Amino acid sequence: MHESTHHHAETFKSKVEEAIGVTVSHCYQCGKCTAGCPLNEEMDIMPNQLLRILQAEMPGYEEKILSSLSIWLCLACDTCYSRCPQEVLLSKVMDYLRQESLRQNKVNPKAKDILSFHKAFLNSVKMNGKLHEVGLTIDYKLRSLNLMQDVMLAPSMAAKGKLAIFPHQVQNTKEIAKIFKKITDSEGGKQ
């Protein structure tokens, strides 16, 4: 028996599909994901429409998606996936698009703070192996320049004994740094 194999030209869509094992055409655009998404009111492109844009592959679609704010707002709450009739793992698509947006330097300006927070968070983990909330706060403030924002309610938290001024560390912080380095290296130094 001979079974033919199909070959497609590599496109941004096929890259997304391959990277995360989701088939974009499974989505039949019912919109149930969007209807239940807690962030729908804040998003610039609705979740179902992100998929539609990927499906249609009209000129410039990659840019449009990678520079959208929605991909940064998505909380990976999986409300969409848990109700999607076609079992499209939208949060995974969002994950991938975010990472790609970062790699390609297309992050929506409005997502700057969100990105700063994630970076500061990881930085704290990289240095201590654990999150140090005070350190994170300082780092985030520097990155986002939101100096006035009372991000972690530090004063009241400290008063309630909830903030550790010095970080807890894993015994071997080098080990964690090594994991970060290996992963960064394997991706050609980009992060």
Partner 1 sequence: MRIGYYPGCSLEGSSKEYNDSLFAVAEKCGVTLEVIKDWSCCGASAAHNLNHDLALALPARTLALAEKQGLEDIVVPCAACYSRIAGTKNEISNNIAVKAKIEGYIDLKLTADVKILTVFEFLQKYIFPTVDQHIVNKLNQKAACYYGCLYTRPKEIAAVEQIENPMEMDEVMAKAGATPIDWAFKTECCGAGLSVSRTDIVAKLSGKIIEDAADRGAESIVVACPMCHMNLDMRRPEIKKQLKKDINIPVLFITQALGLSMGIPADKLGLNKHYVPTDKVVNCIVKMEA
Partner 2 sequence: MARIGVFICHCGENISATVDVAKVAEKAGKLSGVAFSVDYKYMCSDPGQTLIIEAIKEHKLTGIVVAACSPRMHEGTFRKAAEKAGINPYFCEMANIREHVSWVHPKSDATTQKALDIVRTMVAKVKKNAALFPIKVPVTKTALVIGGGIAGIQAALDIANAGHQVIMVEKKPSIGGHMSQLSETFPTLDCSQCIMTPRMVEVAQHPNITLHTYAEVESVSGFVGNFDVKIKMKAKSVDYKKCTGCGACWQKCPSKKIPDEFNEGMGFRTAIYSPFPQAVPNKPVIDRPNCTYFTKGGKCGLCKKVCPADAINYDAVDEFIDVKVGAIITATGFDLKHADFFPEYGYGKFKDVIDGMQFERLASASGPTAGEIRRPSDGKVPEKIVFVACAGSRDKAKGIEYCSKICCMYTAKHAMLYKHKNHEGKAYVFYMDIRAAGKDYDEFVRRAIEEDEVQYIRGRVSRIYEKNGKLIVKGVDTLMNGEPVDIEADMVVLATAVVANIEAESLAQKLHISYNKHKFFAEAHPKLKPVETNTAGIMLAGACQSAKDIPESVSQASASASKAIGLFSSNELTREPIVAVVNRQAPPNFTSCTGCLLCQEVCPYHAIETEDIKDRGGNLIKRAARVNAGLCQGCGTCVAMCRNKSIDLQGFSNDQMLSEVMALLNA
* Region 2-31 residues binding partner 1, contact defined as CB under 8 A: none
Among 33, 51, 129, 139, binds partner 1 (CB under 8 A): 129
3-state secondary structure the chain: CCCCCCCCCCCHHHHHHHHHCCCHHHCCCCCHHHHHCCCCCCCCCCHHHHHHHHHHCCCCHHHHHHCCCHHHHCCCCCHHHHHCCCCCCHHHHHHHHHHHHHHCCCCCHHHHHHHHHHHHHHHHHHHHCCCCHHHHHHHHHHHHCCCCCCCCCHHHHHHCCCCCCCCCCCCCHHHHHHHHHHHHHHCCCCC
- Give me the least distance between CB of 76 and partner 2, in Å please: 17
CB of 156 to ligand SF4, least distance (A): 29
Pattern of binders to partner 1 over 49-78, x per CB under 8 A? -----------------------xx-xxxx
Residues engaged in binding partner 1 (CB under 8 A):
38-39, 42, 72-73, 75-79, 81-82, 89, 91, 95-96, 98-99, 102, 113-114, 116-119, 121-122, 125, 129-133, 140, 144, 149, 151-153, 156-157, 160-164, 168, 170-172, 175-176, 178-180, 182-183, 186-187, 191
